[in-house]
């Protein structure tokens, strides 16, 4: 017999007003397909967390069921638009790291040192950019510089200066269940997920009966868009968006040896977070989640929707490049892919198709596209340039004719550039007076455009639609 409870949580600092989450009680214990039978660790709980979110949320389940249909259309549109052209447009995602502790001194237990946090951002950039002198350099030819970077946010939601590390004493030693994290931790600590990519670093409970015992980390998958036939999301998952990582799997013992890491397990080089951020940007496990080594199930037809990651019948836990678990399909298992379950020292590759998926998500998905244009990594603490840009709006949007760039006070930006979805410049305007803040779009063809507004050293990019 199941009984539904509803819990409403309001995070007042956020732009959205609340989150409604329905959760079934009296559940059977959850089985994790990625629990290593030898060590007991769960390399990743993203699939199970996705199921958890869908329980009692039929709208989200419908939306998720439509995700591959939605993104495959977006990928096709993207290919047609680009027509084979390659671009060098590096995207930077602003990150806030919430270090969740129980009153410990900094550097003690789960209240990890700044250096350990910073080393994680370093590893994300090494892995996503396939940087020279880092493991990605040795990956095979299909390895991608994804042109995605990460920065620690430099400004808090209230406009004051910040180093990107938000230490929060939650008065609780550890976290035992998805419910506890989603209903208590996240709503109390999340920052606007349209502007910040939220990472929580926590101590998971190690009690044998705890749902999250042994888990390294998990991510919230993107939900596509509110457009294009995908249902809207009345039971908001906005208040839980981001990734959650166990503190001893966060950061890199190579980059910052002074930190506290699960070195003996081989998860001490920051690739738990690389993997989970891959999920948050739309990547699936390379074996397509059809089989599970620990559950003894296999499936050589499950796909991760990337053509350059060979089929595998299940997850791999060690770095054997000779594994070919689906010999009737082309290619050996890509055990070194960040989206397999191997140890940190093994992983060194995102592929071209994985890069395309992530960029398509970043260009189109709810709470992802807005991250790309967020200005919170610019060191603009409490400064008028930042505040001016924060207050800028475009109206009407969508537009058919004259578009107005509205500022909240009488200050003017210095200039702005308008470009189309291919990155081509349509207009470049120096702002001399208020008259320069209206744009006649009547001659523009229908579609998506961007306006990059400059003030001093700060910039903000806004999107508008001509129809």
User: Would you name the residues annotated as active-site residues?
Assistant: 276
Nearest distance in Å: CB 197, Zn ion: 17
Nearest distance in Å: CB 256, Zn ion: 24
Give the DSSP letter of residue 152. Answer: E
Task: Please say whether the beta carbons of 441 and 401 come within 8 A.
Answer: yes
Query: For residue 352, what are the CA distances in angstroms to 26, 142, 308, 372, 402?
Result: 43, 6, 7, 20, 40
272 vs 366 by CB, closer to Zn ion? 272
Under the binding rule (CB under 5 A), the answer on residue 33 touching Zn ion is no
Task: Please say whether the beta carbons of 46 and 279 come within 8 A.
Answer: yes
Tell me, residue by residue from 309 to 348, as one string, x for binding to Zn ion by CB under 5 A and - for no binding.
Answer: ----------------------------------------
Nearest distance in Å: CB 275, Zn ion: 5
Q: Which stretch binds Zn ion (CB under 5 A): 43-51, 79-87, 88-96, 236-244?
A: 43-51
| Residues 413, 428: Cα–Cα separation, whole Å | 13
Under the binding rule (CB under 5 A), the answer on residue 44 touching Zn ion is yes
Tell me, residue by residue from 159 to 198, as one string, x for binding to Zn ion by CB under 5 A and - for no binding.
Answer: ----------------------------------------
44 vs 151 by CB, closer to Zn ion? 44
Nearest distance in Å: CB 418, Zn ion: 39
Q: Judged by CB under 5 A, how many residues of this single chain contact Zn ion?
A: 2
Q: Concatenate the DSSP letters of all residues of 278-344 into one string.
A: HHHTT---TTTTS-BTTTTB--SS---S-TTS---SS---S--TT--S-TTSSS---TTBTTSS--T
23 vs 220 by CB, closer to Zn ion? 220
Nearest distance in Å: CB 75, Zn ion: 21
- Find all residues with CB under 8 Å of 189, minimum gap 6, and list them: 98, 100, 166, 168, 170, 200
| Residues 190, 381: Cα–Cα separation, whole Å | 20
Determine the Cα angle at 391 with ends 417 and 467, to 5°.
50
Q: Which stretch binds Zn ion (CB under 5 A): 44-52, 163-171, 206-214, 265-273?
A: 44-52
Tell me, residue by residue from 272 to 301, as one string, x for binding to Zn ion by CB under 5 A and - for no binding.
Answer: ------------------------------
Assigned token pair, 175 = 């976290």
Q: Which stretch binds Zn ion (CB under 5 A): 41-49, 130-138, 233-241, 443-451?
A: 41-49
* Residue of this chain nearest to Zn ion (CB atom): 44
Identify any residues that bridge with 161 across adjacent strands, giving them in sequence order: 155
46 vs 348 by CB, closer to Zn ion? 46
Assigned token pair, 193 = 């997920």
Nearest distance in Å: CB 435, Zn ion: 53
Under the binding rule (CB under 5 A), the answer on residue 354 touching Zn ion is no
Identify any residues that bridge with 94 across adjacent strands, giving them in sequence order: 151
68 vs 454 by CB, closer to Zn ion? 68
Under the binding rule (CB under 5 A), the answer on residue 356 touching Zn ion is no
| Residues 382, 154: Cα–Cα separation, whole Å | 11
Of 406, 412, 411, 419, residue with least CA distance to 451: 419
Of 378, 370, 380, 336, residue with least CA distance to 461: 370
243 vs 375 by CB, closer to Zn ion? 243
Q: Which of 46, 116, 147, 374 binds Zn ion (CB under 5 A)?
A: 46
Task: Please say whether the beta carbons of 313 and 292 come within 8 A.
Answer: no
| Residues 246, 260: Cα–Cα separation, whole Å | 11
Nearest distance in Å: CB 410, Zn ion: 50
154 vs 325 by CB, closer to Zn ion? 325
List interacting residues with Zn ion (CB under 5 A): 44, 46
């Amino acid at each position: 017999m199941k009984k539904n409870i509803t819990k409403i949580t309001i995070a007042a600092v956020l732009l959205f007003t609340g989150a409604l989450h329905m959760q079934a009680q009296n559940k059977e214990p959850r089985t994790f397909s990625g629990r290593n039978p030898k060590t007991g660790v769960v390399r990743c709980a993203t699939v199970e967390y996705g199921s958890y979110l869908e329980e009692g949320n039929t709208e989200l389940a419908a939306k998720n069921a439509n995700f591959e249909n939605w993104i495959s259309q977006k990928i096709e549109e993207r290919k047609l638009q680009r027509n084979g052209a390659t671009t060098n447009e590096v995207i930077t995602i602003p990150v806030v790291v919430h270090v969740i502790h129980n009153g410990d001194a900094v550097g003690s237990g789960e209240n990890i040192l700044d250096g350990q946090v910073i080393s994680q951002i370093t590893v994300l950039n090494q892995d996503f950019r396939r940087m020279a002198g880092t493991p990605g350099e040795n990956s095979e030819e299909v390895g991608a510089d994804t042109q995605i970077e990460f920065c620690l946010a430099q400004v808090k939601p209230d406009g004051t200066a910040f180093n990107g590390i938000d230490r929060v004493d939650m008065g609780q030693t550890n976290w035992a269940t998805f419910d506890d994290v989603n209903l208590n931790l996240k709503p109390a600590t999340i920052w606007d997920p349209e502007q910040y990519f939220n990472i929580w670093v926590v101590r998971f409970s190690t009690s044998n009966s705890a749902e999250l015992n042994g888990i390294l980390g998990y991510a919230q998958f993107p939900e596509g868009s509110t457009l294009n036939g995908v249902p809207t999301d009345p039971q908001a998952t906005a208040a839980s968006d981001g990734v959650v990582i166990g503190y001893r799997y966060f950061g890199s013992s190579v980059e910052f040896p002074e930190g506290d890491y699960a070195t003996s397990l081989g998860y001490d080089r920051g690739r738990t977070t690389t993997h989970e951020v891959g999920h948050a940007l739309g990547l699936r496990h390379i074996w397509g989640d059809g089989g599970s080594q620990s559950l003894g199930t296999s499936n050589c037809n499950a796909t991760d929707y990337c053509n350059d990651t060979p089929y595998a019948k299940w997850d791999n836990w060690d770095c054997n490049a000779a594994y070919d678990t689906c010999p009737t399909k082309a290619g050996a298992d890509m055990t070194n892919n960040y989206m397999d379950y191997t140890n940190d020292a093994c992983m060194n590759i995102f592929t071209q198709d994985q890069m395309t998926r992530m960029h398509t998500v970043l260009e189109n998905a709810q709470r992802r596209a807005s991250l790309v244009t967020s200005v919170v990594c610019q060191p603009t603490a409490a400064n008028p340039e930042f505040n001016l840009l924060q207050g800028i709006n475009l109206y009407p949007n969508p537009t058919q004719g004259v578009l107005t760039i509205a500022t909240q006070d009488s200050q003017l930006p210095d200039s702005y550039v308008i470009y189309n979805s291919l990155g081509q410049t349509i207009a470049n305007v120096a702002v001399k007076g208020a008259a320069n803040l209206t744009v006649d779009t009547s001659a523009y063809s229908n579609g998506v455009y961007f306006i990059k507004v400059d003030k001093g050293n700060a910039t903000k990019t806004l999107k508008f639609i001509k129809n």
